[in-house]
Each structure stands twice: as structure tokens, then as C-alpha cells.
A and B are shown apart, each in its own frame.
Chain A
Amino acid sequence: METLKAQKKDSEKDTVMRISGAEAIIHCLLAEGVDLIYGYPGGAIMPVYDELYKFQDKLTHILTRHEQGATHAAQGYARVSGKVGVAMATSGPGATNLVTGLADAQIDSTPMVCITGQVPRHLLGSDAFQETDIVGISTPVTKWNYQVTKASEIPEIMAKAFYIARSGRPGPVLIDITKNAQFDELDFTYEKCKGVRSYKPVPEPDLKAIEEAAELINNAKKPFIVFGQGVILGEAEEELKALVEKAGIPAAWTILGLSAMDTAHPLNVGMVGMHGNYGPNVLTNECDLLIAIGMRFDDRVTGSLDTYAKQAKVIHFEIDPAEINKNVKADVAVLGNARQTLDLLLPLVNKNEHAAWKAEFDKKYQIEYDTVIKNDITPTKDGLTMGEVIEQINISSEHKAVIVTDVGQHQMIACRYAKFKQSKSNITSGGLGTMGFALPAAIGAKMGAMNREVVAVIGDGGYQMTIQELGVIFQHKVPVKIVVLNNDHLGMVRQWQELFFESRYASTVMVNPDFVKIAEGYHIKSRRVSVRSELKDAVAEMIASKDSYFLEVKVEKEDNVFPMIPSGASVSDIRLK
């Protein structure tokens, strides 16, 4: 008996460690496979930073220049790698600076865990220095959040945080940890979370619904697929392609669905939405079957719901039951992970071709090409267009780059014209439209896929919202390529002012600094281009560079992005000019 007990004690020693809460946090991160986090220190999180110092050979911490940058970097990392991004901040202002990134990750379903320090438990509620109710503040913008006040809670809560962030429809989780819980000791063991009883991340596929979907697809004359990020998050790219090819269905992507399919695929008919392609938008209202896969019918996609695809039957493949019938009523709802449900659907679908129907997309493309695309990509006017810059990036990078965009005209142009060969290559702030997203997100994307070319395309406005993150690129030699499409305006807002506010340019004209000098201040190779004759060479030089590179392109100041569905109008009323 005695010896048995002693033996047991010995073996327990391997798994149970008596350590501080702060150290436990590091062990939790390591156990979850995290080797890179972004953050910013401060009083309430200092015990954890002290452990980060000790563990720096196992866990790299990147000091961003603002906590918002940490969240977007974590998002960029997550979206390119499919792993959970991690950001860390101190209490009070550190924590509140995370809010924009949390909201962005929440609406774009990005897996992220944010850890914040908090004042010691005994000071909670006393308006202590840098106390803020970050759990209360972040509730509407997190998938889950929790305040840890005891060291012993740390392993279980951290395991739950990662599980919730990455499972089902992913999203951001915030864990707020009081300083006493970081200092106090606990008996540490770690077990990964395998389930939470009140939470069902992936609904069971319903075979009957899948059969109904197959029947609708087999009987449709003009079927049309619109797919979104659910395909990427569910890793259903191959299944989607197989369905498209077998049933011969034209397929369009939403802005977050970009790159889930090869741009050059003959059945890829482009992008739906406000500045999407003419064909897929107009033909949404002519198809007889709309097959929505992993998308949520955002208003920027549907325009006026009263006139959206009313003639069509709708099948909705979706992981989140709350999305069914939220905006568009589905005749058949197929709940589940897209990879699983498409895989079940595939054998039930007949081989088919819809050549005449596909030809209508080609016809519409020709119209769009003649009125819009030609002038965007191969302009004959003097001023440089954003479109021709994107086209040069396509050519130089051979369609292999990860394209990270900010928010505005340059974003729409980049998403319209960038060409992709590989999934997880488009990183943009879609749902929230967060200016300032791209520079830090590109840093995260590069660090999440070091072997890939990462090009950030940013407007002169948004660039100045997180420009300080150039410091990270400099300090850590992150070889991202930065293209600022400088129109000296808050271009997208100016466009709306021109179209809907009789050209009253209220606060959209910007006097900009010398961006090249700023980049030089950070010792980043840089160049400015204002004439067409230099563009090709400059882009090629940028892509060829082994190091980070900053390219400013002076583009036309008052160009507009077309096509455009004016907000609240029908997809049929998309304007070509």
C-alpha cells in the first residue's frame, strides 16, 4: 500500500506542477500549439510578460505599436493559417483598444483569443487605476468571454477559450484575468476541451434536407451558386469545386469567399455585392435556383431584400442555425459543416451542363468589360488607375500572393481584380469595414505563412490609422509588401458624396505627408510612382524584393468604383457608370 501510494505520487509529479497563474497561462498557450502572439504590456498583465520573457525560446511575442494592431495581426495570422490568433493587452485602455479587432473578428467569424490583465480581485468595482469592465464592454463583440479571478480556473478556462474560438462558426473569445490570479499558485494540469454541454458547434447534417437539395439542383434549369467564407472556414474548397464541375453550375463568391476557388476556373463568374460583378448581381434575379453556401446574405450582398432573388428557390448551406431565414427565406436549409454536407450531396447530384445559362454570364461579363474593366485595367487616360496597379501585382506575383486589403475604393478594386490560385489568399475586413485593418493584418498574414508573398493594398486614409505598425515590420524584419494607392482623398466616401451629396466634399480631401520619407524613417525600402511608364518596373521590383518594401502609387484623385448597387437598391439596378 505504502509503496503504491509513493509510486502514484511520483508519477503525478510529471503532470501536476505547482506554478503561478501567469506561468500557467504560458503552458496553456503552448499546449494549444501557440508559438506566436501579439500584444502590448502594462501594469495588470506584467506577471504574464515576465513569464513570456522566460519562455521566449518557445513562444514569440510581437510587440505591436497599438493594441488594435495586435488584434488585426492576430486576425491576419488566423485567416491565412486557419489557426487561432492570440492577442494580449493590459487592463483599462489596453483592453478597450482591443474592441475594434474583436468586433471585426466577430462579424467576420475569425478565430481569436484575446487575453487581458485586470486589476486584482479585491479592487474590482472600486474604480481602481486602469480598471474597466472589459467583460461587459466586449460582450456584444465576442463569441464568448469570461473573467478569471482565481489561479485555479486558468487551465479549464483557457482550454474552453480555444475550443470555442475555433469550433463551429469561429469567433473571438476574450479572457480577462485579474492580477492576483496571475500571481497566485495552482496545481497545474492541462486537458484540452472536447465539448461544452450547452454548446453544439456543428449541427448534425439532415439527410432528408440534403436529398431535397439534390432534387432541386437536379431539376433546376438556371442554378446559381453564391459561396462565402464558410467554404474556407469549413475547408470545403475541393467539395465546392467538385459540385460546381459535376452539376455545371456557375458560381460567384462573396467578398469573404474570395480565393476559395481558382479565379481562372471557367465556372467562376466573379463577385456578388455592391461593387461586385455585373453578371452575378443581375443574374441573381434571373436564376431559378440560388444555392448559398457558407454565406449570410449580408445587405452589401443582397441590396434590397424585397427584390432579391424572389423568382428563385433558395437552398442555404450553413453552419449557424441563426442565419437560416434571417435575411433570405430558404426553401431548403442544409445545416452543418459545408465540407460534410457538400460531400453528402455530391453523389446525389446528376452530372449536368448549363451552357446556355453560363453564356448569359459571359455576355454580361463582356458588357462589364467594355464599359468598366477595360478602362480600369488598361486605361488610356494619363492618370494611373487603381485597377492597373492590381493587375501589375497579379502579373508580378503570378497570382500566388496573399492579398490583404484595407477599406475603401482600393479594397473594392483589389477584390474585383486580384486573381487567386490558392485558398486563404484574400484577407480583408468585410463585415465591419475597419479602416486600419490591412497593415497589421498583413504582418500577421506574413508571419502565419512565411513562405508566401503577402501584399497589403491600402488607401492613404486607412494607412494612417495604423501606420505605426511599420515599427513592427522594421524591428522584426517582416518581409511584407505594402502598396498605398494614394488618391489624396477618403476616396470611397468622396465617391458617395459625388454621387449622392452633390459633390459636397465634406472632410474627405487629405493633405498627406511624404509617405516614402516615413517608410525611410523605418528603414523600409521604398519608392513612389506617379507615371505609368514606371509602374510595371516598380511593382516587379517590389515583388522581387527579399525584404519588406513600400510602394506608393499616386493614382487619379477622383476616380469612382463601378459597377455599383446604390445602397437599398435592387441587385438588378446595379449601375455600370
Chain B
Amino acid sequence: MEKQWYTISVYSENNVGLLNRISGIFLKRHINIESLNVSKSEIDNVSKFTIVVVAPEESVRKIVGQIEKQVEVIKAYYHTDDETIYQESALFKISSDLLFDERQIQNIIKESNSQIVTVARDFFVLAKTGRRHEIDEMHDAFEPYGIMQFVRSGRIAVSKAAMPITSILAEFQNQ
């Protein structure tokens, strides 16, 4: 089966051991995690894991089944890129000298739609939010001039369709 990008969204109780449990599920099946983000969710005291993989749907479906089976997981979903709105962000630390020496740099900053986070005597920091290819393009544009540090976050995503966690929790409450 054909591999594709999938975003797995896991709603769970906050638990220290759960990350280990979830990553083990991928490890056991030799599925590489492209990116992983853990944050709070729209519901109080419910965490959200956003996991990106490139894999055939069949294995993603099975993985999501195994994830959902974990006691602390409330619900897990998977979506294709078309079914989600997603972003990544990146930070670029660049030498301040370049601002004055390389006129081209100013153009890149303008065209890349990035924000200047901070400017110090020796360096300045740019933040860029967008699709991975946009961040990659900006990275490629800066690379010839030298990047002091670069970091990119995991993907964060919301699905176009609803992920009705509140009703699942309400159902439990009513039992």
C-alpha cells in the first residue's frame, strides 16, 4: 500500500508514562515518527499529542487502534493533510553583520513573511510559521549566507471535521 502523510491526534489524560507507551507502539512496528508535539487541548486537563508519520493507511489505522487501547488515551484520530489545517514553526538565528553587508538578506526577510523576534548586537532571530516547504525555502535562501542556529517545531494541526471529545467525556460522566 502507498505511503502518505498522516497526522495522528491523540487526546489523553496527562500522564508521565504515556509518551513512553505511545512511542513504543511506533518503535515496535518500525514506523518512524516525523514529528511529535504534546500540548494542552481545548479541554481542561486533557492533553493532545500531534504525531506525524509517513506510512500506508493500513498501518496507521492499526497504530491508532493500538494507541486508543491504552488506558489513559481518551480517543485517537488520524487525518490526511487535506483533512487538516496544519503548520510548523521555525527559528533562525543569523549574524547581525549580514543585515548590513548583504542587501539580499533584507529581501529574503521581506519575501519570507517571517517576523523578527529579537535583534541583538551580534545576531538577530527570525520566526517563521507555515508549511514545511515554506520553511525549507526560507532555510535554503539563508543557507549560502550562513545560519548560526536553526530549529523547526513539530507539526501542529486541527482537523476540518469535528473531533468530539467533550461528548465522549460527557458519556462517561453519565454512566
Contacts and interface: CB of A to CB of B under 8 A. Distances in A.
Interface string A141-153: 0011111000000
Given A135-B17, A140-B24, A196 B69 contact: no
Interface in B103-132: none
B80 interface: no
A198 interface: yes
B30 interface: no
A322 B66 contact: yes
B175 interface: yes
Contacts of B71: 143-144, 164, 196, 198-199
A140 B173 CA distance: 30
A197 B74 CA distance: 7
Interface string A175-205: 0000000000000000000011111000000
Interface centre among B17, B62, B74 (most CB of A within 10 A): B17
Given A195-B175, A197-B172, A139 B24 contact: yes
A135 B175 CA distance: 31
Interface string B47-85: 000000000000001100110110111100000000000
A139 B21 contact: yes
| Interface size classification for chain B | 20 to 34
A321 interface: yes
A322 B68 contact: yes
A321 B73 CA distance: 14
B123 to A, nearest CB: 35
Interface string B21-32: 100100010000
Contacts of B20: 136, 139
A51 interface: no
A97 to B, nearest CB: 21
Interface in B123-175: 169, 172-173, 175
B17 A195 contact: no
B13 interface: yes
B12 interface: yes
Contacts of B74: 197-198
**Dominant SS at the A interface?**
mixed
B72 A326 contact: no
A139 B17 contact: yes
A195 B173 CA distance: 10
Nearest to B23: A139
B17 A198 contact: no
B21 A326 contact: no
Nearest to B67: A322
A146 to B, nearest CB: 7
Contacts of B69: 320-322
A321 B65 contact: yes
Interface string A121-160: 0000000000000011001100111110000000000000
B65 A322 contact: yes
Given A135-B17, A144-B71, A146-B17, A198 B65 contact: no
A196 B73 CA distance: 10
Contact of A145 (B17, B28, B73, B175): B17
Contacts of B24: 139-140
Contact of A198 (B28, B62, B72, B173): B72
Given A136-B20, A143-B71, A195 B172 contact: yes
A324 B65 CA distance: 9
A197 B17 contact: no
Contacts of B65: 321-322, 324, 326
B25 to A, nearest CB: 9
A414 B132 CA distance: 59
A175 to B, nearest CB: 12
A357 B74 CA distance: 45
Contact of B73 (A139, A198, A320, A324): A198
Closest 6 CB pairs of A and B: A322-B65, A197-B172, A198-B74, A144-B71, A199-B71, A322-B69
Given A140-B28, A197-B169, A198-B71, 11 more contacts: A139-B17, A139-B21, A144-B71, A144-B72, A195-B172, A196-B71, A197-B74, A198-B13, A320-B69, A322-B68, A324-B65
15 contacts: A139-B17, A139-B21, A140-B28, A143-B71, A145-B17, A146-B17, A147-B17, A196-B71, A197-B173, A198-B13, A199-B71, A321-B65, A321-B69, A322-B68, A325-B62
Interface of B: 12-13, 17, 20-21, 24, 28, 61-62, 65-66, 68-69, 71-74, 169, 172-173, 175
Interface of A: 135-136, 139-140, 143-147, 164, 195-199, 320-322, 324-326
